[in-house]
A and B are shown apart, each in its own frame.
Chain A
């Protein structure tokens, strides 16, 4: 056979398979290849670990009909675009990008592969019909943590290790502070920005700096267990919370509770939708009620009454009777944000780039 004929044949075959792919999409796919892009290592014990648990749940749920691939430690930025392109070229039907910083790369690559579905975690840009976003209402969990922090602090100084100044993190800080303040009017919040999602040594240093400043309850918004390891050195004087994952190894203290991100239901649902043909662009934002945010066991290091209050708070949020951002709430500069009884619209939260009244310091721009 001549080379040209082979090429022609190949082109025809490719075209046919493209057509086939398109047609079968309407009625669902026979087999789905799902890609997962991680910002840290799976072994971080936190954020990425939980996403990977979700990926494994997809495999579990659909067995042979699903093939999962993943890549760890993908830097946010140009590298992400390369990894995404590679995944799309290698035949992934759906790609989950699991960090805020992948927002622009995800949309850029999605433009080039209209047949591939892209799902971006914690972002807000859906520039193309094949880009969906999903997020979890972590601030609901932060409210419970804030309540515990306000009750438990003896020095009236509580701390928060921020990763990057983005709405998702600022929302958490505000919710944490508001609920600590509600039960302890004297509480002061120190915020340290680590400017990293994952750097155990730096996260430990940040925790140490807070402890040196007299902080005795630390919440962290970075991915590793290092802040808890640092708090553990104080022999119970300082407590903290599991972030993203349960971090049960640090029970009963310093880890007194945790926010667990449970991505499995969402991942299973989306891949399932692709298999049965019901897939549609979405903007998902579930919280405690939807099971995406779970509050890890509150340990005995917390007094029984505080534990009961925290659990009541959790249940009222889950039931929808209480919204963590319920007015009156002023912004940091004293201007009004929410009127008495008003609850925060999702749009305000997703673009939240201000502290609430009472928090000192400025948000790095």
Chain B
């Protein structure tokens, strides 16, 4: 059952894979922003994760350790951001941008010896006969484990934010750090942990690019995925499930336009190429014009530094 020469099952399967790095980075950034911190260094943390993950996987021969290395690399870089903004009270926007530049340069330096090396292969999760189910088998049961992890992380973040005390504290810190401080919560400590989580997730997303999606290391391999992740957080109006939706929408249209071209659809390529961005803008407009008002959903203390003396 092909539509316009494109098999929908294959299309959905590939959009799920294409979206993983963005989902991971965006869900991490969502938690950071929920805690009231704006970290624009996602791109830098992703590419650090991409190279440290790659280096770890190559050194150990184990892709799973590679992902761990990627998460640590991303978290390590976010620690720099955390110390600068939380303890030294540096401007978050400027520090975040600097972090991206720093990450791009540092990753290129670390990656000097890794060009042209192939990382150990990550196997797909063996579902046995389930993978042979028509349509569903291709869509759901024929992926590497990170695809499931990305969905699992979205679910976990949603549950924690909505149902747990931890989520409540995190949101309190992000909405009003003074009030949270008055209640006795350690604002800086909580924010540091959120920043580290965001860094680890971005690193994981970066490692996914260098270990699975394009299994190789090349300078600048993330090519702007971090910026898209940042946009997706706003697009999702800080709601975890919408991050998943937004990333699938963006990834889906990107994959679809390439598939349409390959299938020889008679649609001008220019429209296809700009469609992911066009639809992102469109959805942003629609969402912010509704009753929910996306802008009002932003954490109230987003981007503000906190110092206990005030």
Q: Contact check, B262 vs A202: say whether CB atoms are below 8 A apart.
A: no
Task: Verify if B280 is at the interface (C-beta below 8 Å from A).
Answer: no
Chain B, 74-107, CB within 8 A of any chain A CB: none
B222 within 8 A of A: yes
Q: Which residue of B lies closest to A361 (CB)?
A: B264
A212 partner residues in chain B, CB cutoff 8 A: 6-7, 10-11, 14, 259, 262
Query: Contact partner of A43 among B108, B225, B273, CB < 8 A?
Result: B108
Q: How far is the CB of A168 from chain B (nearest CB, A)?
A: 18
Among B10, B112, B225, point to the contact of A201 (Cβ < 8 A). B225
- A224 to chain B: closest residue by CB: B218
Residue of B whose beta carbon sits closest to that of A203: B214
Contact of B223 with A202 in the complex, beta carbons under 8 Å: yes
Asked whether, in the complex, the Cβ of A43 is within 8 Å of the Cβ of B223, the reply is no
Select from chain A the residue with minimum beta-carbon distance to B219. A41
Chain B residues near A73 (CB, 8 Å)? 220
Closest-by-CB residue of A relative to B222 is A201
* A154 touches B (CB below 8 Å): no
Residues of A within 8 A of B225 (CB): 201
- Interface residue range, chain A: 35 or more
CB pair A192–B262 under 8 Å, yes or no, is yes
How close is B11's CB to chain A, nearest CB, in angstroms? 8
CB distance from A298 to the nearest CB of B (A): 20
B108 touches A41 (CB 8 A): yes
Task: Say whether B218 contacts A226, CB under 8 Å.
Answer: yes
Is the pair B270, A364 in contact by a Cβ cutoff of 8 Å? yes
- With A41-B108, A199-B223: A213-B263 Cβ-Cβ less than 8 Å: yes
Among B53-61, B113-121, B160-168, the one that faces the other chain is: B113-121
Fill in one digit per residue for B209-221: 1 if any A CB lies within 8 Å of its CB, else 0: 1000111111111
Contact A249 B268 (CB under 8 A): no
| CB 8 Å contact bits of A185-207 with B (1 = contact, 0 = none) | 00000111111101111111110
Tally of contact residues, B, Cβ under 8 A: 42
Q: Chain B nearest CB: distance from A9 CB in Å? A: 41
A287 at the interface (CB under 8 A from B): no
Q: Beta-carbon contacts of B269-296 to A below 8 Å, as 1s and 0s?
A: 1100100000000000000000000000
The interface bits of chain A over 228-271 (1 if a CB of B lies within 8 angstroms of the residue's CB, else 0) are 01101100000000000000010000000000000000000000
Assess the B112–A43 pair: CB atoms within 8 A.
yes
Check: A45 CB closer than 8 A to any chain B CB: yes
- CA A199 to CA B10, docked complex, whole Å: 22
Q: Say yes or no: is B5 at the interface (Cβ < 8 Å to chain A).
A: yes
Which of A213, A224, A364 neighbours the largest number of chain B CB atoms within 10 Å of its CB?
A213
Q: Mark A312-335, 1 if CB is under 8 A from B, else 0.
A: 000000000000000000000000
Cross-chain contact A42 with B261 (CB below 8 angstroms): no
Main secondary structure of the interface of A (DSSP, over half): mixed
Contacts of B255 in A (CB 8 A): 205, 208-209
| A residues near B222, Cβ cutoff 8 Å | 201
**Which B residues touch A215, using CB under 8 A?**
262
Question: A210–B261 Cα gap in the complex (Å)?
Answer: 9
Given known A-B contacts A201-B214, A213-B5, A190 and B264 have beta carbons under 8 A apart: yes
Of chain B, the residue at the smallest CB distance from A48 is B219
Which of A72, A193, A225 contacts B261 (CB under 8 A)? A193
With most chain B CB atoms within 10 A of its CB, the pick from A41, A210, A230 is: A41
Q: Using A43-B218, A190-B264, A364-B268 as known contacts, say yes or no to A205 and B258 having CB atoms under 8 A apart.
A: yes
Whose C-beta in chain A lies nearest to the C-beta of B260?
Answer: A209
Query: Which single member of A198, A210, A229 contacts B215 (CB below 8 Å)?
Result: A229
| A199 cross-chain contacts in B, Cβ below 8 A | 223-224
Enumerate chain B residues within 8 angstroms of A198, measured Cβ to Cβ: 220, 223
Q: Provided the pairs A200-B218, A201-B223, A225-B218 are in contact, do residues A210 and B112 lie with their beta carbons within 8 angstroms?
A: no
- Measured CB to CB, the closest approach of chain B to A358, in angstroms, equals 13
Instruction: Say yes or no: is B45 at the interface (Cβ < 8 Å to chain A).
Output: no
Q: A43-B115, A208-B255 are in contact. List 7 more A-B contacts (CB 8 A).
A: A45-B116, A72-B219, A201-B18, A209-B258, A249-B116, A361-B264, A364-B270
Interface residues of A (CB under 8 A from B): 40-45, 72-73, 159, 190-196, 198-206, 208-210, 212-213, 215, 224-226, 229-230, 232-233, 249, 360-362, 364-365
Binding site for A on B (CB under 8 A): 5-7, 10-11, 14, 18, 21, 108, 111-112, 115-118, 209, 213-225, 254-255, 258-259, 261-264, 266, 268-270, 273
Instruction: List 29 A–B pairs whose Cβ atoms lie within 8 Å, in order of A's numbering.
Output: A41-B108, A41-B218, A41-B219, A43-B108, A43-B115, A43-B217, A43-B218, A44-B218, A45-B218, A72-B219, A190-B261, A193-B261, A194-B258, A199-B223, A200-B221, A201-B209, A202-B223, A202-B254, A204-B213, A204-B214, A208-B14, A209-B259, A212-B14, A213-B5, A213-B262, A224-B214, A229-B216, A249-B117, A361-B264
